[in-house]
Each structure stands twice: as structure tokens, then as C-alpha cells.
Amino acid sequence: MKQVEERILSLRKELHEHNYNYYVLDEPTISDYDFDQRLRELASLEKAHPTFYDPNSPTLRVGGSVTKDFPTIVHEFPMYSLDNAYDEEELYDWEKRIFKLLGTDSVTYSCELKYDGASISLIYNNGVLVRAVTRGDGVQGDDVTQNIRTIPTVPLQLRGNYKDRFSIRGEIILPIQGFHDMNKTREENGEEPYRNPRNTASGSLKLQDSALVAARPLQCFLYQMIAARPLFSTQMESLDAARNYGFNVPQNNKHASSISEVIDYITYWNKERTNLPYEIDGVVIKVNDISHQEELGYTSKSPRWAIAYKFKAESIYTTLQSIHFQVGRTGAVTPVANLEPVHLGGSIVKRASLHNADHIEKLDLYINDRVAIEKGGEIIPKITSVDKTKRSPNAVKVKYITHCPDCDTELIRIEGEADHYCPNVDACPTQITARIQHFISRKAMDIDGLGNETIELLYRQRLLHSYADLYTLTYNQLIPLDRLADKSVNNILKAVEDSKEIPFERVLFALGIRYVGQTVAKKLAVHFGSIDAISVATEETLIDVDEIGTRIAQSVVTFFSSLSNQHIIDRLKTYGLQLERDQDLDQSLSNKLSGQRFVISGVFSTYSRNEIQKLIEDHGGKVSSSLSSKTTFLLAGENMGPKKRVKANELNIKILSENDFLIMI
């Protein structure tokens, strides 16, 4: 038995190495026949000796497992989206922000191609692939591990000296030739061809039969290693290490010492991208120094240390047939252009965004105009110009509506804002249903089983008029409705009941207060502790919360001054929702730093920056991202930018070393 185990382990190791040589290095060291013979031997041994089963065996590359459901997994590290730049000026503006935050005027960059596919997060523990999760909403995604294991360029077992546990981010792509080959086969079989490589790659990840995934020529390009504490000093170093571990990291990245060199890289690949065997839609620029990345941190949506330069989108002309107006949950009215269907960027485009009244006026639009459309960020179609030479003399000028398309209330426009709003907050049907749809969404109350159509049906049946009504729904009310069977009704009622355990900061976000996103909701929840404290807060006390400005403060005060909102919140209290922050979350180690505001800068030896931030908060202090007159201490590590030290001295802010801080707590 010992000899069998040794032979199985030896074959697995050898086949992993051959896979790497063939698919990643494109340098096969064995014939296909010899590879297949070894694979068959391994499969035979594994079948005869199931006690040696390994989920990462090379024999499982061919797939065969069937997955009915793809469990939702919370990412160990959030998968943020990237801010976009479309011209050189935006890149220089981004660099200025970096210089200001770091207090320096010298930063180098990593330039990488922006692959056009489906984002994936791979988790490795002790050199073995343990999980693969789609991006999802950035906070949580779907577990697609079985399907990812079939992709040859995803290493199942790492080579060399690997770290204990880390995540690596990448993109699942479908090479252009492979895409064409798939479509040729489909057309020969009388099937509809796929629209584009990106959507086909993304759809492949959720196929239930992993053998079908294995049959597709998918590849995985990796670009970012992440762990609880930094693994490397620079992004370039991490890419080299990833290659050595066996990851498929293209060699076309570049180290740039200035934005000027970044622009040279962009210019080159904007011309050469058509010669690549796969699609790209831009270039990703990252601050190369990992300590600088840590110091720059993140906004609520994006890393401050990275930006995506998007190549100019494909543009095409079509006819503007009509315009309709949509009402959102905040009452904002958005004009949408209905177009003569046209093929653009791999999909059929029938509609395009027109943003607001100013945009329509700037374009000088008429019905039946020939309009140029492109995909903004190559995702959302938009109208960019009008061919006025093709305009009919009888054409009718587009006029922005004066009344709400749903409730006929006269629209208002707040001074300084571009949008028009329907002020009929409590009776406009679309606003009501949209608020409920926001309330039940995954990032808010996560009430599964209630889709948008069901919410609209319940509203029409007068079973819902606000999100508080969700908690009075009964089985007998739901079971007669179309498309709702016994099991689905019970699932809905259970999900509504389970939502009562959702923590306070998510309930606050779910209320749909204008300008209060997830990050702001958490800051308010931590600062005030309860819905009652927030409801009586003044504009001045709200602005005193870190990173809460006048616009947010005014919106919060307006929301809680509404009698109807007060009534809804009183009802939510009676239904048992979490409207206070869990005191266990706020148990501090001490209050030694109460009233103290810190800015953290540089690299530290004893703790990571995240650990230091938690220590400050656990001892009652607060952490800000930038120096101001409200800052009490600048906690300075190694490699802190000199400009920050100068500014701290100018503002008479005391500078602490890591040792000073540890003594303090």
C-alpha cells in the first residue's frame, strides 16, 4: 500500500509540472501520448484506492462533477472595483492626489493590461487550492471551485516555497480563437452563436456540469496577491513570485517611474491590443510600493492606489426613436433613449443613458436624430453626439418632462444639482417599490425570494406600501398570488423573519436615506450607536462625524424629520429589527484614547496598519485618512512621506513613533 501511495503522489507531482510547462510556459517537455498514459495510470490507481482521493488531483481537470447550487461566500478580502481614467489629464490628477496623501513627490508604478473577462478570487492554503469565488458584489460571491479546477492555467498545487494562506485575484478569459471555434461548432449544430468572449467566459463559471467547463478553452490570468499582512515589498515583486509559484502571469507588465512612462505604455498597447490573442479594454496602473498602497488605502468602492485607464470605446451610429423617463427610489428622474437596435461591443444595444436635462440640452436632441453611441466604460451605452446633417426639417425637439411619469406630480430641481426629482415621496408608486427593493437587497436586509416583480405585485395587491409592511405578510396573503407556491412562500416568510437579525449598520443602509451608502451607514452606526440617537442628531453633530459632510448631514436630518419615516421606524422597532449597535462589537479594551484622532502613515514593524487602526479604535480613539486641525496625533512609521511631517509640524500635531503609541496604550 505504501508503494501505491508513493506512485500516486509521484504521478500527481509529475503531471502538475507537465501541466505548468504546457499551459503556462508553452514549453511542453513530454508528448501528449505520454502525458495521457500517465494520466490514465493515475486515474486507475485512484479508482482502485479511493482512500487516496485528492480534490486537486490532475485527473479532475476533465470535470464530471455536477453542482446544483453555488453557495454564496463572503470574501476574505473585499474585491473592490477600480476608478477609471479616460485621458492623460485624469492620470495626472490621480497622481497629484497620491502625492498629497503620501506627502511625497516621487512614486513608481506597475502597469498591467486590463483583461476583459470574469473576475475571480482564488484562495490557497499551504500551497493547495481550497476555494474559488466569483467577484459577485465585491463583498461576497459564488463558490465555483469545482469549475475553476478544470481550467489548466489554474495551479491546483503550487510550486516552490509558497506562503501559508493567501488570496490571489485574476480574470477568467476566453481567447479570441477559442471563442470563434466554439461559435463555429454551435453554428454547425444549428445553435445561436455566443455574443462575445467576456460574457461567454463569465457564463461558463456557473455551468452546473464541470465537464462542460473543462471542454471550453478558458484561461486564467492572475494579477494581485493578498494576505492578512503584506507578502512582498512591491507589486512587481509579487508578480514575479506568482510566476514562480506556477500562476499564469503574462510577461507584458512594466515598471514605470513616472506617469509619462505610464502613458508610453498605454500608447503602445492601445495600438498593439489587436495583435493579442485575447481581449483587453485598457491598462491598470498601480502604485508599485506595497507600503504606499497600505497607506493610501481604499474609498468605500475603490483602492486609492490603483486606477484603470480605459481605451476609447467603440462608437456607432443609430436612430433615436423615443425617450422615456425613469423614477428612482430617491425620486431622481433619469431620461433613457430608446434606439433602433444596433450591434455594439458584442451585444445588441436598444437603450442608452441620457443622464439629465443639461445633457439633453447640450446634445440638442431631436426625435429620429442619427446619434453616435458608445459604451461608457464599455459597459453602459451612452449617446455622445448627433449627426445634425441627417436631421429631418420636420423633426421634433426633445423636451424634458415637467411632471413625474408615474404619479404626475410636478418635478423639482434642487439648486446646484443636475437631476430633477419627484417630491411625492410617500405616494409615487415607483419610489415606493424601489425603496422596498433596495431594502431587501443583498447588501441591505438580504431577504431572498422576493424579486422586483414580486415586490411590484405585492404593491399592486395593496399588501405592501412601505418596507415595514414586509413584517406583517402572512402565508394566507401570499399563497394565492401568481408564481408563489407553498415552498417559495415559506422561504420568503423565513427570510423576512431571519432579517430581524441583520446588524444595525445594514438596517440603517437599508432605510434608503439619500447619500447614506454602506460606508456612511457604518460610520453613523458606530458613532451614534442607535437609531434613536441618529434621529435627534443635528446637522452640526452629524458633520462632526469623520468624513460626514454637509450634504449627507442635511439628508439625514430631512429623513428623520419626516412624520411618515418616523412612523415606519416606530413600526420596525415593534417588529424586532436591530436598531441599536451590538454592544459586544463596541467593547473596548480601554477608553485611554477617547477623544483622540489619529492619522496613520508609513510602515510598522510590530503590527500591520489594519491592526494598528483596530488597536486605536479598541482603545476608544478614531482614525482619519488625512491631517487636519482636528487631528491629535500623527502615528509615523518607516518611509512616511516628508510632506506629512511638515504639515503635522505646521498644524502643531504631535508625531508619535510606533513605540510611543504602544507605550500610550
Nearest partner of 494 among 469, 508, 475, 507, judged by Cα: 475
Q: Kindly tell me the burial class for residue 492, based on how many C-beta atoms sit within 10 Å of its own C-beta (0-12, 13-18, 19 or more).
A: buried
pLDDT for 48-86, tens place per residue? 888 877 777 777 666 556 676 788 888 988 999 899 998
pLDDT for 390-403, tens place per residue? 999 999 999 999 99
* For residue 34, pLDDT beyond 80: no
Residue 419 backbone dihedrals phi, psi, to 5 degrees? -90, 155
Cβ neighbours around 26 below 10 Å, total? 7
Lowest-confidence region among 128-142, 170-184, 323-337, 610-624: 610-624
Distance separating alpha carbons of residues 534 and 557, to the nearest angstrom: 9
**Average pLDDT score over residue span 155-170:** 87
Q: Is 114 a catalytic residue?
A: yes
* For residue 24, pLDDT beyond 80: no
Q: Kindly tell me the burial class for residue 654, based on how many C-beta atoms sit within 10 Å of its own C-beta (0-12, 13-18, 19 or more).
A: exposed
* For residue 583, pLDDT beyond 70: no
Residue 317 makes CB contacts below 8 A (sequence gap 6+) with 370, 371, 372, 373, 387
pLDDT at 451: 85
* Confidence label for 109 from pLDDT (cuts 50, 70 and 90): very high
Lowest-confidence region among 205-219, 335-349, 558-572: 335-349
**Average pLDDT score over residue span 420-432:** 94
DSSP 160-208: SS--SEEEEEEEEE--HHHHHHHHHHHHHTTPPPPS-HHHHHHHHTT-S
Q: pTM of the prediction?
A: 0.69
pLDDT for 449-494, tens place per residue? 888 899 999 999 999 999 999 999 999 999 998 888 899 999 999 9
Nearest partner of 169 among 284, 43, 88, judged by Cα: 284
Q: Are 549 and 586 in contact (CB under 8 A)?
A: no
Q: Are 219 and 173 in contact (CB under 8 A)?
A: yes
* For residue 379, pLDDT beyond 70: no
pLDDT at 299: 81
3-class DSSP assignment, residue 320: strand
pLDDT at 664: 87
pLDDT at 137: 82
Distance separating alpha carbons of residues 663 and 593, to the nearest angstrom: 12
| Type of residue numbered 549 | G
pLDDT at 90: 95
Task: Considering the candidates 13, 68, 96, 114, report the single residue annotated as catalytic.
Answer: 114
Bridge partners of 154?
A: none
Helices (H) and strands (E) in the chain, counts: 24, 21
**Average pLDDT score over residue span 34-38:** 78
pLDDT at 17: 81
pLDDT at 64: 58
**Average pLDDT score over residue span 564-593:** 86
Domains, in order of start, for the chain: 2-62 (1.10.287.610), 84-310 (3.30.470.30), 315-390 (2.40.50.140), 429-501 (1.10.150.20), 504-584 (1.10.150.20), 597-664 (3.40.50.10190)
Residue 85 makes CB contacts below 8 A (sequence gap 6+) with 91, 94, 307, 308, 309, 310
Q: Are 581 and 525 in contact (CB under 8 A)?
A: yes
Residue 494 makes CB contacts below 8 A (sequence gap 6+) with none
Distance separating alpha carbons of residues 65 and 321, to the nearest angstrom: 48
pLDDT for 116-137, tens place per residue? 999 999 999 989 999 999 998 8
Q: Are 130 and 124 in contact (CB under 8 A)?
A: yes
Residue 445 backbone dihedrals phi, psi, to 5 degrees? -85, -10
pLDDT for 303-312, tens place per residue? 999 999 999 8
Q: What is the mean pLDDT of the chain?
A: 89
